[in-house]
Structure 1
């Protein structure tokens, strides 16, 4: 690109969209603290007392179902949003997800029995997946290439803000004398963040890449010109270059692929390669055990000998560290690179899980405070590496490897894989810890070790490249290259852009661009 361009418009859009990230993080995290509230167990007729064998077994089954149904809803939400976002645009999809999220949160807070609560978790999971897929896609489509990792990484950082807020709200609610307030108030706040998102969505622009893909380049240019306006660049070459690249690549993609359905992610060779890479990246996260620990952190800490109040405090501190780690991950991701970051993170996690398993095996159920405290410390070490190197990276990577005309579908599939991968672990985690104890941790040592090798072998690096140029590393055509041009090549390109390739008024070229796209469609039909 001509130069790095980061405007206040970019920042404002990212921060507004991150309300969706907070919504997802809060939705997902609040259940881990809800199951740490004794008053919730009492109201729902459940127990944490293993001496009540029959009821205890039933309770573990219900909690596993609650965790699992959120993930099941998210699988459907991820697949749905891929189609809906491409058909109706990013803005309408965000608004729809926010409304569904409000309904799900309200139903949870007002639940009168456990069946209603389970259904509400499914609805909330559906909406949460829509948001967790949409936000990184939208940010990726408006972010300058050189800092795309930083900006898209705010999605991962802010959904950890949602985790953190949920944890500390639960801590505060725990000390209320009102038994109903203990768990209903934290759940009710699930509606707050999507309500705020509904307000901000109104002024957000539509994704310029989506507009170009729908044959509306004049509207796309107006948005790009505002997003990348720079008073030091009177010709606005940065915006013009990007517009030229986007419109050229869109025409090339339509000529190559035409209309693409979800099925084409698996039947077209170059899309299939991307889909398999995204599947690997998203599977590696639940196979690492992070979400199981996220969801069960209160129970895990309690199992190491801490009472309910201390468990909630320690889990809130753990989530807060994860939040700090995710912001750090976003900050250096563009320098460190996507694949290297994931490999470092997973290797660090494996080390800490090995030590954690050894401590639980030797000292679990004892009163050795020093050893049990060390067990908690290992959980903190785990999240330092996962939050600091992985949690943000996976969303950045999967949001950028798919071409524009199929990006929402590809990201939707990725999110569905993420929650599908979580489903067996979340369903089995409560029972697994209760029945085989420390041996359950072996899953999160063996599987990540295998995945590290696969990530190194199969995943290409994407840092620094524009979304259109990433096509090249998957052996697709790149219509216009802007990264790593020589000064002479840059001057020649800018001269052609200003002399008529795009024109001094890119809006005037919209009919020409439409004709290019129509020609591509005619060729495909023939």
Structure 2
């Protein structure tokens, strides 16, 4: 059985939350099993909402527009965060968790799509990678806010303020909405608006005649026309045929997400230099080794007073995160935003990110109970899954570094109407 301190570190919840909702705070209290179920439902409903948010976003941003969909998702996120912070009972809190997850699923699907569509080829990785950086930076702010609020004498403030703070970021997004460019206008036959945005995005003093913007506009226009024809016949299954293919726990949580944020920034710096595929393989291999050592150390030292052994176990948790942050996290959003052609990009990213949330539902829902009963054996699931993924990435993932979104069609064996593969245009922004 896990000690209450270990259990509490996995819950990562301020004590005021347990007090307000009359939940058990330790394994020897009545209602401990009920608390496990509530905490599991809190995580599971968030992931379920996020999955639904990803799935519906592909329809929203194609049916309306990227920018209109962004506005709707932002308002949903504000509403969900407000209901979480103001929850008066567990049912209200759980509904708010689902709604918040739905808004997050909307945003994490849409934002990398928009970033990919307005960024130049040579810096796709860095610019889209900032999505992962800012995402984990938000976790960092949340982690340190939770740690700081732990010391508040107001037990409700301990958990309500961190949740309310989550509304700040979508509110800020709402404020800058007028300056965010629309995309993809060419699919809506809004050619004049599309060219104005493209020329503004790619303006450079050494290119006063907008040579780069004109050539890229022509390339995109040609590819959109070809994609429009495919759009009439393709189905969801074509997505799978592309390319044939206590305060201390809160303190540790703050440090944990800070490392994740720094790792994502490192990821965004490496991705256009090292490449997507090598980073995936390095990251997965490092994560697997870290999990093996973590499981072995937990089996040996969990519940003991052996500080060196427990410190080593903690080290491998952070090492696992370092590999994930530096090689996998931002890389996943970049890769998902690159490999699908324009006419199904929103659907492809929606299903890619949605599957991420879908797969987290069972293990987040089960985590509190599993960690309290089978303990270290729970890690075996993730060791095996990581081991399976390494050869899949090695043998089936093509490299997309430095290739424009339109030229990537050729990489996956599809028609590339106006290719500039390997030309100076794709290398222009790297010099």
- TM-score band by shorter chain is over 0.9
Aligned equivalents of 2:391, 2:316: Cα separation in 1 = 24
Residue matched to 1:42: 19
Aligned equivalents of 2:223, 2:377: Cα separation in 1 = 51
Aligned equivalents of 2:156, 2:233: Cα separation in 1 = 52
Residue matched to 1:294: none
Residue matched to 2:189: 215
**Are 1:265 and 2:236 an aligned pair?**
yes
State the secondary structure of the residue aligned to 2:167.
helix
Residue matched to 2:48: 72
Please show how residues 361-440 of structure 1 align to structure 2 within 5 Å.
361-440=299-378
Residue matched to 1:282: none
Residue matched to 1:126: 102
Residue deviations 1:84-120 (CA, integer Å, cap 9, x gap)? 0011111111111110011100101001111110000
- Retained in 1: the 8 A contact 2:74–2:174? yes
Aligned equivalents of 1:42, 1:171: Cα separation in 2 = 17
How far apart are 1:276 and its partner, in Å?
8.3
Aligned equivalents of 1:486, 1:185: Cα separation in 2 = 51
Please show how residues 46-125 of structure 1 align to structure 2 within 5 Å.
46-52=23-29, 54-125=30-101
Aligned equivalents of 2:308, 2:20: Cα separation in 1 = 35
How far apart are 1:389 and its partner, in Å?
0.4
Aligned equivalents of 1:157, 1:351: Cα separation in 2 = 24
Residue deviations 1:420-467 (CA, integer Å, cap 9, x gap)? 111111111111111101111111111100111111111111111100
Residue matched to 2:4: none
**Are 1:328 and 2:266 an aligned pair?**
yes
- Retained in 1: the 8 A contact 2:16–2:155? yes
- Retained in 1: the 8 A contact 2:267–2:325? yes
Residue matched to 2:242: 274
State the secondary structure of the residue aligned to 1:464.
coil
Q: Which moved more, 1:416-425 or 1:249-258?
A: 249-258
How far apart are 1:256 and its partner, in Å?
3.2
Query: Which of 212, 219, 231 does residue 245 from structure 1 map onto?
Result: 219
Hey, which bits of structure 1, 4+ residues long, moved more than 6 A? 31-34
Aligned equivalents of 2:163, 2:66: Cα separation in 1 = 27
Greater C-alpha radius of gyration: 1
- Retained in 1: the 8 A contact 2:243–2:411? no
Residue matched to 1:293: none
Query: Which of 327, 333, 353 does residue 291 from structure 2 map onto?
Result: 353
State the secondary structure of the residue aligned to 1:483.
coil
**Are 1:446 and 2:384 an aligned pair?**
yes
Q: CA RMSD in A?
A: 1.8
TM-score normalized with structure 2 length: 0.94
Question: CA 1:257/1:109 → structure 2, altered by over 3 Å: closer, same or farther?
Answer: closer
How far apart are 1:486 and its partner, in Å?
7.7
Question: CA 1:276/1:99 → structure 2, altered by over 3 Å: closer, same or farther?
Answer: farther
- Retained in 1: the 8 A contact 2:219–2:418? yes
Residue matched to 1:185: 161
State the secondary structure of the residue aligned to 2:179.
coil
TM-score normalized with structure 1 length: 0.77
- Retained in 1: the 8 A contact 2:243–2:413? no
Aligned equivalents of 2:33, 2:11: Cα separation in 1 = 19
Aligned equivalents of 2:134, 2:241: Cα separation in 1 = 30
Residue matched to 1:10: none
How far apart are 1:258 and its partner, in Å?
2.5
**Are 1:144 and 2:120 an aligned pair?**
yes
Query: Which of 146, 167, 171 does residue 195 from structure 1 map onto?
Result: 171
Aligned equivalents of 1:377, 1:32: Cα separation in 2 = 15
Aligned equivalents of 1:74, 1:257: Cα separation in 2 = 26
Aligned equivalents of 1:274, 1:432: Cα separation in 2 = 37
Residue deviations 1:115-134 (CA, integer Å, cap 9, x gap)? 11000000000000000001
Residue matched to 1:18: none
Aligned equivalents of 2:124, 2:172: Cα separation in 1 = 25
Question: CA 1:181/1:204 → structure 2, altered by over 3 Å: closer, same or farther?
Answer: same
- Retained in 2: the 8 A contact 1:33–1:167? no
**Are 1:314 and 2:252 an aligned pair?**
yes
- Retained in 2: the 8 A contact 1:34–1:183? no
**Number of residue equivalences:** 419
**Are 1:159 and 2:135 an aligned pair?**
yes
Please show how residues 274-293 of structure 1 align to structure 2 within 5 Å.
274=242
- Retained in 2: the 8 A contact 1:265–1:275? no
- Retained in 1: the 8 A contact 2:110–2:346? yes
- Retained in 2: the 8 A contact 1:34–1:40? no
**Are 1:462 and 2:400 an aligned pair?**
yes
- Retained in 2: the 8 A contact 1:322–1:387? yes
How far apart are 1:225 and its partner, in Å?
0.7
- Unaligned 5+ runs, structure 1: 1-30, 278-307, 491-526
Query: Which of 191, 205, 209 does residue 235 from structure 1 map onto?
Result: 209
How far apart are 1:274 and its partner, in Å?
3.2
